[in-house]
């Protein structure tokens, strides 16, 4: 097995393989999230779309690996690890921090002649060019836990287990650091962008989400759903339908 394929297997999980699907969708999690967040999406889109889900270092089966400090480092590694999966057209989906990462990975892959990027779905995140004024990563453990509970960013059964939450805090803090210190310095992508956002998301205003329009020379679509920052889980049927429709028309 080549180094590239081994690296790809380390970074991506294929929970519901769809070998006959014409398009592959790479899903990148939110800060503190893991590949398993996208299991429902993978199952919901198979067999028409082959979904692969990123697993960042420092969590679950990669919990003993060192964290990566910046969005740029994460995007470099993800883009390289994604190459063996690019034997068919690829779309990107990210939620929250994963949206920024998806944009950066798309920029890197569009620079190559051997990869076809058909769509970028950005969920629950302000546009990359909108400056951040967040300092969650600087809070102590109690402050970080309070922010997670405020956003309902983890399933309630996990939030109720203080020990599990505290074990996950180093990975969560590392991701918040990468996301909150990110500075946009690139041009637009060529592929179409579709943005999903919640109408009660305290982390992302509608105006900040609409500014994703500035980041593509292709088509742009914008959808507002009821809910807070993690509306994506609550509005799954409608979001999956939109993804299927957009990819089918790519």
Q: Domain for residue 213, yes or no?
A: yes
Residue among 95, 144, 146, 156 nearest 124 (CA): 95
Q: Is 205 helix (H, G, I), strand (E, B) or coil?
A: coil
Q: Domain for residue 162, yes or no?
A: no
| C-alpha angle 25-156-38 in degrees, rounded to nearest 5 | 10
SS (H, E, C) 146-194: HHHHHHCCCCHHHHCCHHHHHHHHHHHHHHHHHHHCCCCCCCCECCCEE
Task: Give the count of beta carbons closer than 10 Å to the beta carbon of residue 6.
Answer: 11
Cβ proximity of 8 and 85 under 8 Å? yes
Average pLDDT, stretch 96-111?
A: 97
pLDDT level of residue 158 (50, 70, 90 thresholds): very low
Of 8, 34, 96, 102, which residue is the catalytic one? 96
Q: Domain for residue 30, yes or no?
A: yes
What per-residue confidence (pLDDT) applies to 33? 86
pLDDT level of residue 171 (50, 70, 90 thresholds): confident
Average pLDDT, stretch 55-71?
A: 90
Q: Domain for residue 157, yes or no?
A: no
Q: CB neighbours of 160 closer than 8 A, spacing ≥ 6?
A: none
Spatial distance between the Cα atoms of 191 and 170, rounded to a whole number of angstroms:
34
CA atoms within 13 A on the CB side of 60: 13
122 backbone dihedrals φ, ψ, rounded to 5°: -115, 125
What per-residue confidence (pLDDT) applies to 161? 61
What's the domain count of the chain?
A: 1
Could you list the residue range(s) of the whole structural domain that residue 104 is in? Answer: 3-131+185-248
Average pLDDT, stretch 80-95?
A: 96
Q: Domain for residue 227, yes or no?
A: yes
Residue among 186, 169, 173, 103 nearest 135 (CA): 173
Which CATH number covers residue 23? 3.40.50.1820
Q: Domain for residue 140, yes or no?
A: no
pLDDT level of residue 77 (50, 70, 90 thresholds): very high
Q: Domain for residue 15, yes or no?
A: yes
Average pLDDT, the chain: 89
Q: Answer with the residue of higher pLDDT: 204 or 1.
A: 204
Q: Model confidence over 106-141: pLDDT tens digits?
A: 999 999 999 999 999 999 999 999 987 776 766 777
Residue with tokens 């309070």: 146
**pLDDT for residue 157 is more than 60:** no
Give catalytic status of residue 129 as yes or no. Answer: no
Instruction: Tell me the percentage of the chain whose pLDDT exceeds 70.
Output: 90
Q: Domain for residue 123, yes or no?
A: yes
Spatial distance between the Cα atoms of 126 and 96, rounded to a whole number of angstroms:
8
């Amino acid at each position: 097995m080549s180094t590239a394929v081994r690296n790809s297997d380390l970074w991506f999980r294929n929970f519901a393989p769809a070998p006959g699907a014409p398009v592959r969708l790479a899903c990148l999690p939110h800060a503190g999230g893991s590949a398993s967040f996208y299991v429902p999406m993978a199952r919901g889109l198979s067999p028409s779309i082959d979904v692969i889900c990123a697993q960042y270092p420092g969590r679950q089966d990669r919990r003993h690996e060192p964290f990566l400090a910046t969005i740029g480092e994460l995007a470099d590694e993800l883009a390289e690890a994604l190459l063996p999966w690019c034997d068919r057209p690829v779309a990107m989906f990210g939620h929250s921090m994963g949206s920024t990462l998806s944009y950066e990975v798309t920029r890197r892959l569009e620079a190559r002649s051997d990869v076809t990027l058909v769509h970028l779905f950005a969920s629950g995140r302000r546009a990359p060019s909108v400056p951040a004024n967040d300092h969650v990563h600087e809070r102590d453990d109690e402050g970080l836990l309070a922010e997670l509970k405020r956003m309902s960013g983890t399933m309630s059964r996990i939030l109720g287990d203080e020990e599990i939450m505290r074990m996950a805090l180093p990975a969560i803090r590392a991701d918040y650091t990468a996301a909150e210190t990110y500075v946009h310095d690139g041009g637009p992508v060529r592929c179409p962008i579709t943005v999903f956002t919640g109408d009660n998301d305290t982390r992302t205003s509608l105006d900040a989400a609409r500014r994703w329009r500035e980041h593509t020379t292709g088509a742009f679509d914008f959808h507002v759903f009821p809910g807070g920052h993690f509306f994506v889980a609550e509005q799954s049927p409608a979001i999956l339908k939109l993804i299927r429709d957009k990819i089918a028309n790519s």
